[in-house]
Chains A and B, each alone.
Chain A
Amino acid sequence: MNEEIKSYTISLYTENNIGLLNRVSAIFQRRHINIESLTTSQSEIDDVFRFVIVVNITEAQAAKIVRQFEKQVEVIRAYYHTDEQTIYTESCMFKIKSALLFEEPQIQNIIKDSNSRIVTVNKEFFVLEKSGRRHEIESLRRDLNVFGIMQFVRAGRIAVTKDEMRVTDMLMAFNNHNN
């Protein structure tokens, strides 16, 4: 198996339980793997949660770690995918002084060119939101940094996979077996 370290997106379908995040992060921590980003949300199935975790590891590590996740009682299924196998995006927010909008007219061009969106404006500040790839967000941050950013925050990667997940089939099979 390829020993090259690259970015893998690990997707977990889980029950919604207190403490599961601790269990998930302990699996990385124990193997000295740094989590690049972690997002949890509702999945396409009503009472099933989804973790999207990005880590830089080898494929051998990814395969092993996914089996460790599947071993956890409250993890329904776990997968790993390369960037090429997923459609992914990140989003971020900037809080910037409102006065700059008038003092530095280039800012308006930057906003327009970057496809970002103004969420709110008031006398003191405005808030800009942008979704996209990391390099687009980084480039926007560099551009705005010149003028001063009051606050910046970037959310973890969210990703859907190109291939099917089949978690619903699995849950149906369980229900049929137990009814």
Chain B
Amino acid sequence: MNTQTENKTQEVASKTMRISGSEAVVRSLIAEGVDILYGYPGGAIMPVYDELFKFQDQIHHVLTRHEQGAAHAAQGYARISGKVGVAMATSGPGATNLVTGIADAQIDSTPLVCITGQVFSHLLGSDAFQETDIVGISTPVTKWNCQVTKAADIPKALAKAFYIAKSGRPGPVLVDITKDAQVGELDFEYEPCKGVRSYIPVPKTNPADVQAAADLINAAKKPMIVWGQGVILGKAEEELKAVIEKAGIPSAWTILGASAIPTSHPLNIGMVGMHGNYAPNKLTNECDVLIAIGMRFDDRVTGKLDSYAKQAKVIHFDIDPAEVDKNVKTDVAVIGDSKDSLAQLLPLLEAKSHEAWLQEFKDLYAIEFEKVIKHDIHPVKEGLTMGEVLRQINEETKGQAAIVSDVGQHQMIACRYADFKVTKSNITSGGLGTMGFALPAAIGAKMGAPDREVVAIIGDGGYQMNIQELGTIFQTKVPVKIVVLNNEFLGMVRQWQQLFFDKRYASTEMTNPDFVTIAKGYHIDAKRVSKREELADAVKEMIASENSYFLEVCVEKEDNVFPMVPTGASVSDVRLS
């Protein structure tokens, strides 16, 4: 053998090795930089768990108490870190339990790779034990999915999965791997996926569209920006800030856009949407140019479409061409990556300030403050309000905490009153509205950003939807702070029943267990407060704790969240009471 051939053989030998499909799964994850994943073992995924055991010095598996918890934890991890979250489950019920988290990740554009075990390929279609068609079930809620039935196909499938999950507009993917593929052997070599010919993740921004957008903005007398999560996903916070400041444009955010620009920024005019702020909702119907950036005109944002910003020219920046004209007809669409297109926009903008226009927002804010905010965050009535709890958390964390909220009244209060200073600080289930999201998502968020304070804010209803994840917190000792705002109601539904169903409180009142005792059962420090004078100290103690901590705050039972744009109403008909 000459030296050249010998070298070549050695090179191939070092690159490829004969291993099992399940080892290939774990090595592929490691090659993708995954050091943590969330999951739950079971029959059809056991060979992979066996390999995870062997590689536990390189990759940490977090055992959640339910597969839904695994999916949400992976989402929380992805949302705070910007990396791909990974969830793993067995076939059948293990796989179907992931589906809510997958659907949530799909509508909120969260990069997720879900790996499910599947029965042996010769059993597919035979109604085998724990067989379910998870590829069929997950198709409408995944960005991409596939089934692997041969060991040799595993590295390529996973490489493609990671590439698709994180590129372009991110989303969840699912790879279903039959048991024979896991136990079969292959010559392993990992090559990251660099492209898929049928898929253009980031369409190229057309400079002419950017110029057209700039022309409209420069000519505008009353421009208004509404930004969404696209700014955070595109890492375009600095670019957005520069655009806002140069052009002096009052700027509002959608629920998932929260925290991209600090709450206290003088041009930050608050949240739009059903429970958003008064001024940006009202003035959406008075601006002359509406600039939407990385948002998708959800019905909760627009209210009645026929009367949404009809007077305005609409500019829409988005990475996803399918969002253009989907709900709101645009005059100028700028397709592409938000960081890139905003950077192109900036030099074309004239430096301006719109003082009189900004003053209109300030005047309406003053009305909202008098009628709503003051009573929410500085209440004088006896019962505790959710708003004052948020105020207290802001004070103790100095706005540095990541707030993970669940779904309902407390979520709206958290988004309205949290004082965000750092991007990626608002982790919540926006599009799907998944109760039960926050507790597991907070676990993932804390693990994704161990240096950050992570405070989960949850209602008494949603808390009980995934309360089993206290077990995960106990076992991993992840120091998350859990605040349950307990009004002994499914509060948001009760609010609607009060306003639109003549106070017929059908199945919304909850008889709750002793939450403090439950937390203590998991050896988590816990406290309950029901009086205003106890609140500040309790929040201080919780934030000061280096361990996980549970705080139950018994709030007023029948408080409502305002402002409110009732379903089917125009944004300018936003109600203050």
**Interface presence of B140 (CB below 8 A):** yes
- Going nearest first, the 10 A-B pairs with the smallest beta carbon separation are A67-B322, A76-B198, A174-B197, A26-B140, A73-B144, A73-B199, A71-B322, A178-B195, A22-B139, A23-B139
**Interface presence of A30 (CB below 8 A):** yes
Chain B window 245-277, contacts with chain A (Cβ cutoff 8 Å), 1 for yes, 0 for no: 000000000000000000000000000000000
**Contact across chains for B164 and A73 when beta carbons are under 8 A apart:** yes
With a cutoff of 8 Å between Cβ atoms, the chain A residues found around residue B139 in the complex are 19, 22-23, 26
**Contact across chains for B197 and A64 when beta carbons are under 8 A apart:** no
**Interface presence of B513 (CB below 8 A):** no
What's the Cα separation between A147 and B331 when bound, in Å? Answer: 60
**Interface presence of A87 (CB below 8 A):** no
**Interface presence of A74 (CB below 8 A):** yes
Q: Which residue of A lies closest to B135 (CB)?
A: A19
With a cutoff of 8 Å between Cβ atoms, the chain B residues found around residue A75 in the complex are 198
What's the Cα separation between A177 and B195 when bound, in Å? Answer: 10
**Contact across chains for B320 and A19 when beta carbons are under 8 A apart:** no
A171 with B197: in contact, given A19-B145, A22-B139, A73-B164 (CB under 8 Å)? yes
Q: Which residue of A lies closest to B169 (CB)?
A: A71
**Contact across chains for B322 and A73 when beta carbons are under 8 A apart:** no
**Interface presence of B158 (CB below 8 A):** no
**Contact across chains for B140 and A30 when beta carbons are under 8 A apart:** yes
Contacting residue for A14 out of B144, B194, B198, B326, CB 8 A: B198
Interface residues in A62-81 (C-beta closer than 8 Å to B): 63-64, 67-68, 70-71, 73-76
What's the Cα separation between A174 and B139 when bound, in Å? Answer: 26
**Interface presence of A146 (CB below 8 A):** no
Q: Which residue of B lies closest to A74 (CB)?
A: B198
Q: Which residue of B lies closest to A66 (CB)?
A: B322
Chain A window 37-80, contacts with chain B (Cβ cutoff 8 Å), 1 for yes, 0 for no: 00000000000000000000000000110011011011110000
With a cutoff of 8 Å between Cβ atoms, the chain B residues found around residue A122 in the complex are none
With a cutoff of 8 Å between Cβ atoms, the chain A residues found around residue B136 in the complex are 19, 22
Q: B202 to nearest A CB, angstroms?
A: 13
| Total count of chain B residues near the partner, CB < 8 A | 22
Q: A69 to nearest B CB, angstroms?
A: 9
What's the Cα separation between A67 and B164 when bound, in Å? Answer: 18
**Contact across chains for A73 and B198 when beta carbons are under 8 A apart:** yes
Q: A122 to nearest B CB, angstroms?
A: 36
| Total count of chain A residues near the partner, CB < 8 A | 24
Contact residues of A with B, CB < 8 Å? 14-15, 17-19, 22-23, 26, 30, 63-64, 67-68, 70-71, 73-76, 171, 174-175, 177-178
With a cutoff of 8 Å between Cβ atoms, the chain B residues found around residue A71 in the complex are 320-322
A67 with B198: in contact, given A26-B139, A26-B140 (CB under 8 Å)? no
With a cutoff of 8 Å between Cβ atoms, the chain B residues found around residue A63 in the complex are 325
Interface residues in B309-328 (C-beta closer than 8 Å to A): 320-322, 324-326
With a cutoff of 8 Å between Cβ atoms, the chain A residues found around residue B164 in the complex are 73
**Interface presence of B416 (CB below 8 A):** no
What's the Cα separation between A18 and B145 when bound, in Å? Answer: 10
Q: Which residue of B lies closest to A175 (CB)?
A: B197
What's the Cα separation between A64 and B297 when bound, in Å? Answer: 15
**Contact across chains for B195 and A68 when beta carbons are under 8 A apart:** no
With a cutoff of 8 Å between Cβ atoms, the chain A residues found around residue B195 in the complex are 174, 177-178
With a cutoff of 8 Å between Cβ atoms, the chain A residues found around residue B320 in the complex are 71
What's the Cα separation between A3 and B157 when bound, in Å? Answer: 42
What's the Cα separation between A71 and B139 when bound, in Å? Answer: 14
A76 with B326: in contact, given A18-B147, A22-B136 (CB under 8 Å)? no
Chain B window 141-172, contacts with chain A (Cβ cutoff 8 Å), 1 for yes, 0 for no: 00111110000000000000000100000000
What's the Cα separation between A68 and B321 when bound, in Å? Answer: 9
In the complex, given contacts A67-B326, A174-B197, what are 6 additional A-B residue pairs having Cβ atoms less than 8 angstroms apart? A18-B147, A19-B146, A67-B322, A68-B322, A70-B322, A76-B198
What's the Cα separation between A165 and B194 when bound, in Å? Answer: 26
**Interface presence of B356 (CB below 8 A):** no
**Interface presence of B196 (CB below 8 A):** yes
**Contact across chains for A178 and B144 when beta carbons are under 8 A apart:** no
What's the Cα separation between A126 and B145 when bound, in Å? Answer: 46
Q: Which residue of A lies closest to B145 (CB)?
A: A19
